[in-house]
Amino acid sequence: MRATKILVTIGPSCDTPAGLRALLEAGANAFRLNFSHGSDADHRATLRRAHAVIDDWPEPVALVADLQGPKIRIGALVGHGIDLREGAALLLDTDPTPGDGTRVPVTLPQLLRVVHPGDPLLLGDGSISLRVEGISGRSVRARVDHGGRLSEHAGLFLPRAKLRPQILGPKDTHDLAIALDEGVDYLAISFVQDGRDLRTVRRAVRNLSPRSEVRLIAKIERQEALDRIEGILTEADALMVARGDLGIEVPLERLALEQKELVRRANDSGKIVIVATQMLLSMVDSPRPTRAEATDVANAVLDGADAVMLSEESAVGHFPTEAVGWLSRIAAVSEQAIDRRRFSAPAGPGRSDASVASAAVRLAEATGSGAIVAPTHSGRTAIEVARHRPACPIWALSASPGVRRRLALAWGVVPLAAPKELGLLALQQLAVARARKQRLAGPLVLTAGYPVEGRPTNLVMLVEVASPPAGARDRRRSRGKRPERPDPPA
């Protein structure tokens, strides 16, 4: 069984019921909708189609809404794009009139206040670079250092500007309301700079939907986020290493090192971590990935990513299901070489749930267990167990459909439905019945809250699959003797 999960972006190439089902059949575990593109009607229709497919699928599937965030962009352009030649002069202003080869509009009202002569400006994916020469009236004068094709609404990066943009602009607040109304499981928050941004989003969620259990994914795209990652990890439920914009913010030669450090920090904190952007970019047009892309995916898996993500490959590519299939195969093979010693760090003081999870994994390793069974109300116990990357699957039992969907992004976790009120004996019986159905070898390791269901996880026990359910009375009688008493409960 593949433990690394696959998050797939929905777009024109797959946004039909048949297309979404094909992605799930190929191995997708979660769907992502990018709110940077499309209308309100498009977003609602896509989310409802996804829900309809998910509801008919036998396994839980997570749904992620990715908010655009405070990204600075180029405005509309004549012909939807222009060619910029090296050495050419270019004016940048805030006039929304479509730009041409001599000027481009910018969606940053304070543009004239935050740039200075000599500052670099990067466009698109960073391959187009300009140098500010000065200010003329209401425009910034710049010279093209490296040219190329510039598409409208491309990103604009100001490496030297000190900006503190509002994490939720009017569009994001509007899109947030749609996402909550349509019942997504995760919100991916773009351009997070620190923990305050995530607290701001949580307040907005509570104001719009007080009972929402939506979880927050902090997208790491800024140098400021790297500098303040500890506070972000405290507030976030998950991280996304968004390598597109991050690869512009940090020196490209450091990008792999930053990715590895972010994955490690998320693993150590017991937070889900997703590696995203250009995992299999060549598959937009090709049915097979390049060797470098296959190696990139494998390294993300070996580093400890809970999930890997497809963007253009599935949204607008010609081979979306093939891309999912390749991710699945590469991840499944790469997992065989994971060094589990890297994930065996003990929990910090005062974290009893983490200590119980660590003990469960050690017991599973020592006994060759077929599965670790983790009843969970919030998903926390299963994620803590997954943090140690055990060699066996993690069966997360929950009565909540929302919890089961959210756990679809957690490494190695198999979310399973279970009754809300589940005593210890019934829990053992349920786990053994599933193990026998799957013909699992070896015992099961079981975590639980004891003595009553609903308590924090404080118990680890070994359950033999081949034996009768624990607690069953031995009704055999010996001649001339009273029936044996059952052992007292543990």
- Non-local CB neighbours of 5 within 8 Å, separated by 6+ positions: 29, 30, 306, 307, 308, 408, 409, 410, 411
Active site residue 219: yes
Q: Which of 32, 222, 405, 406 is catalytic?
A: 32
To the nearest 10°, the Cα dihedral for 271, 277, 283, 288?
-50
Instruction: Express each pLDDT in 50-85 by its tens digit.
Output: 999 999 999 999 999 999 998 888 999 999 899 999
For the chain, give the number of residues.
Answer: 490
CATH 3.40.1380.20: which residues of the chain? 342-463
Instruction: Express each pLDDT in 341-381 by its tens digit.
Output: 888 766 555 567 788 899 999 999 999 999 999 999 899 99
Classify burial at 257, counting beta carbons within 10 Å of its beta carbon; exposed 0-12, middle 13-18, buried 19 or more: exposed
Q: What is the pLDDT of residue 322?
A: 98
Instruction: Express each pLDDT in 247-265 by its tens digit.
Output: 988 889 999 999 999 999 9
| CB neighbour burial string for 48-66, b if at least 16 within 10 angstroms, e if fewer | ebbbebbeeeeebbbbbbb
Q: What is the pLDDT of residue 398?
A: 95
CATH 3.20.20.60: which residues of the chain? 5-69+167-336
Q: Which of 71, 73, 260, 265 is catalytic?
A: 73
- φ, ψ for residue 167, nearest 5 deg: -65, -30
Q: What is the pLDDT of residue 186?
A: 98
Task: Domain 78-157: give its CATH code.
Answer: 2.40.33.10
Look-up of token digits 């993300």: 300
CA distance 94 to 45: 33
Give every residue of the chain whose pLDDT is below 50, as ranges: 468-470, 472-490
pTM of the model: 0.88
CATH 2.40.33.10: which residues of the chain? 78-157
| CATH domain 5-69+167-336 topology | TIM Barrel (3.20.20)
CA distance 328 to 308: 10
Active site residue 211: no
DSSP class of residue 277 equals: S
DSSP string, 286-349: -SS--HHHHHHHHHHHHHT-SEEEESHHHHT-S-HHHHHHHHHHHHHHHGGG--GGGG-PPPPT
Q: What is the pLDDT of residue 482?
A: 39
Active site residue 389: no
What is 342-463's CATH number, 3.40.50.300, 2.40.50.140, 3.40.1380.20, 3.40.710.10?
Answer: 3.40.1380.20
Q: Which of 5, 103, 219, 434 is catalytic?
A: 219
Q: What is the pLDDT of residue 416?
A: 96
Element (H, E) at 419: none
Q: What is the pLDDT of residue 28?
A: 98
CA distance 357 to 448: 10
Q: Which of 4, 277, 321, 376 is catalytic?
A: 277
DSSP class of residue 485 equals: P
Active site residue 32: yes
